[in-house]
Structure 1
């Protein structure tokens, strides 16, 4: 089949999207990816092959890092038009059988509809983000405002144009059905974040010491790591409270790695706290980050307590892949806590509950046996539930069902 994947950001290094596209490629399909290249990159729209996948990078406005709300909004709204125009210019001679797209953004409806009408393609939405409700939860958009209603209209149209919708978890499926009663339930399913796990290999103590030494991290401390976005969705005020508390626990070291619109405020807060066992670093290249994870002891996940939608952070798979136990502090709506319990791979507390969080943190720091057991459980759960071949099979199964129905 000819596969078209629409997404905002795409790179060939290992991640949930490149792993899925590689899986399609490895199963004999021809894959085209359409993604953006931001204005700040000074690159015009261009098409080239990367690792056997055709990637069309479309010049758009800026969207990431320090971008004003106005520019970000205008860029999001223009993406649909720019992608459609680029597909007409560069991919007019290709008939696509399947178009896959992820959220964010929710503004792909027009280009998806164009491909469906032009080629008769099947459409599959990977629902990674429930917008605009998440923005309402965080106070970024006022409930029932004009902008809220506008994006709700866009959201409804995107769901309507989708033949199938793959949700991150059971809680996401329930939320989508409860809040979109017009949708056909049969087209909604669980299709979680998934990766192609690296081969598991033990790392010796000398390697751990060398990796930690490179970053100035003591080799005798229990190393907790948070790697990911630093923004409103993470509820970082609670992370600041944790950092203050850690001044009393020198045997624990906290490493925070990431980018985001709250990076500077986080940096300023940590300077004021002046905890010697807390370190903040900018995001690292994927290979370097993976190597650093192998020298850590526990992976951290944070979500704002204000969410009414069930988020399911993709960094969980990175921790599981590296056999790291997980310590999470989130809202009570997400079912990531249920996954941790079912897998036996981590501990959970509500974001803002400092007493329980610190008790969990001390429990993990004080028992290497517990960490090893939970880490192995997480890796096993990953291999059973979150591998990219499973996501691939979920998607292509709809073609197999259609073919079987046709042959009856």
Structure 2
């Protein structure tokens, strides 16, 4: 399997903005593989259509016309149905000329590639399963769109069966897949999230103060940071509820970095409620982002309490990388809370929707410097031992060798 193709919707190409997919492709290339990436720009800001060479990887990016990025159900549906069909038309040859195809979820966005080309290629097909799209959407829609949920579930189930092997982030994800989908268990294996191993970003007192001053962060505050997407999936009112509950405690400052459909509403709520302890920072390159979180005291993970599916928030990787303790407000179904406290020993978690309990956990981490230091050390150790990208590619190759 010397020629490898990655199908994904997230593959940043700007300097300093590499992500999981970039690290995977780069590692395959360093192993001597011929690596190509077909990337669908799911957000208009992700980048225009182009073919570029980046770190020894050939990247075929396709972006639709701007009208398809309007945030309404009509254009969102059209984007789902048309995007991969256009990719098939433009870059079908790339799918045929490969030995191993590695795709990331959600599968629904690459349906045309799976349906029209799977029988025309002899390549092995591996799916990296990060989310259960219909179940996530059902949890957010509520009970009113059961027919739409059933439609997407049947479609996704059919697409999953087209793969030779499937990798899931956690044991809970494997159990959920096998109990809710008609999948051959022999195809499924564990594929934990990975990252390129880097030296820990450590700031001295002067550098820490400089970074804080640059972005308007209070120098003497205990800074709690959230970095990542800002959509309904994250349930970021959890964080604003915590900030509201902590208004009378000037030692805390809450910093949110990122972009997304909820950003404007969240900013409006902060203004309406005069939450002066909350600071928003515009999206910054990943290299700069890591310096900012290294200058903070605690990393926040937030998920909507409406979810009932297992997950492992990828934003936690950045916190672990810089040795930042983690406080998580998440749904009771996800495994991440147990992994955080039992396996990583890197922080605390509470069930989403309870700002009082979340505030108590924050107060404990703030007041117990020994516990906070141990969480920081343990998190970095977990990162170094369990999240190696070269281990991930070996798991993928091993899963496809005997197929």
After TM superposition, the structure 1 = structure 2 runs for residues 180-329 of structure 1, keeping only pairs within 5 Å, are 180=181, 182-329=182-329
Q: In 2 relative to 1, CA 43–304 (structure 1 residues): closer, same or farther, beyond 3 Å?
A: closer
1:103 equivalenced with 2:99 (yes/no): no
> How far apart, CA to CA, are the structure 1 residues paired with 2:47 and 2:337?
42
Point out the more displaced range, 297-306 or 390-399.
Answer: 390-399
Verify the 8 A CA contact 1:108 1:158 in the aligned structure 2.
Answer: no
Deviation at 1:112, TM superposition (A): 3.1
- Stretches of structure 1 that go unaligned for 5 or more consecutive residues are 403-408
Counterpart in the other structure of 1:24: 28
Verify the 8 A CA contact 1:99 1:115 in the aligned structure 2.
Answer: no
Q: In 2 relative to 1, CA 38–335 (structure 1 residues): closer, same or farther, beyond 3 Å?
A: closer
Listed one character per residue, the Cα deviations across residues 160-190 of structure 1 (whole Å, up to 9, x for unaligned) are 101111111111111111111x311011112
> How far apart, CA to CA, are the structure 1 residues paired with 2:119 and 2:224?
50
Deviation at 1:257, TM superposition (A): 1.0
After TM superposition, the structure 1 = structure 2 runs for residues 4-403 of structure 1, keeping only pairs within 5 Å, are 4-12=5-13, 13-37=17-41, 45-61=49-65, 67-88=71-92, 91=94, 95-139=97-141, 142-145=144-147, 147-180=148-181, 182-341=182-341, 342-401=343-402
Q: In 2 relative to 1, CA 122–400 (structure 1 residues): closer, same or farther, beyond 3 Å?
A: closer
Listed one character per residue, the Cα deviations across residues 82-138 of structure 1 (whole Å, up to 9, x for unaligned) are 1211223x637x621110111124232431354442231111111112111111101
Deviation at 1:141, TM superposition (A): 7.6
> How far apart, CA to CA, are the structure 1 residues paired with 2:307 and 2:360?
24
> How far apart, CA to CA, are the structure 2 residues paired with 1:185 and 1:138?
28
Q: In 2 relative to 1, CA 102–141 (structure 1 residues): closer, same or farther, beyond 3 Å?
A: farther
SS state of the match for residue 161, structure 1? coil
Verify the 8 A CA contact 1:35 1:58 in the aligned structure 2.
Answer: yes
Verify the 8 A CA contact 2:201 2:294 in the aligned structure 1.
Answer: no
Verify the 8 A CA contact 1:320 1:382 in the aligned structure 2.
Answer: yes
> How far apart, CA to CA, are the structure 1 residues paired with 2:345 and 2:168?
23
Verify the 8 A CA contact 2:195 2:317 in the aligned structure 1.
Answer: yes
Point out the more displaced range, 159-168 or 115-124.
Answer: 115-124
> How far apart, CA to CA, are the structure 2 residues paired with 1:312 and 1:56?
28
Q: In 2 relative to 1, CA 39–7 (structure 1 residues): closer, same or farther, beyond 3 Å?
A: closer
Q: In 2 relative to 1, CA 65–304 (structure 1 residues): closer, same or farther, beyond 3 Å?
A: farther
> How far apart, CA to CA, are the structure 1 residues paired with 2:55 and 2:31?
14
Deviation at 1:244, TM superposition (A): 0.9
Verify the 8 A CA contact 1:246 1:275 in the aligned structure 2.
Answer: no
Aligned residue pairs total: 398
- Stretches of structure 2 that go unaligned for 5 or more consecutive residues are none
Listed one character per residue, the Cα deviations across residues 24-68 of structure 1 (whole Å, up to 9, x for unaligned) are 001010111011247957987432212211011123245997622
TM-score, normalised by the number of residues in structure 2: 0.93
Post-superposition, which runs of at least 4 consecutive aligned residues in structure 1 deviate over 6 A? 41-44
Verify the 8 A CA contact 2:69 2:75 in the aligned structure 1.
Answer: no
TM-score, normalised by the number of residues in structure 1: 0.92
Verify the 8 A CA contact 1:76 1:105 in the aligned structure 2.
Answer: no
Listed one character per residue, the Cα deviations across residues 320-373 of structure 1 (whole Å, up to 9, x for unaligned) are 001001000110000001111121101000001222211110111223332221
Deviation at 1:201, TM superposition (A): 4.3
- Compute the RMSD of aligned alpha carbons: 2.2
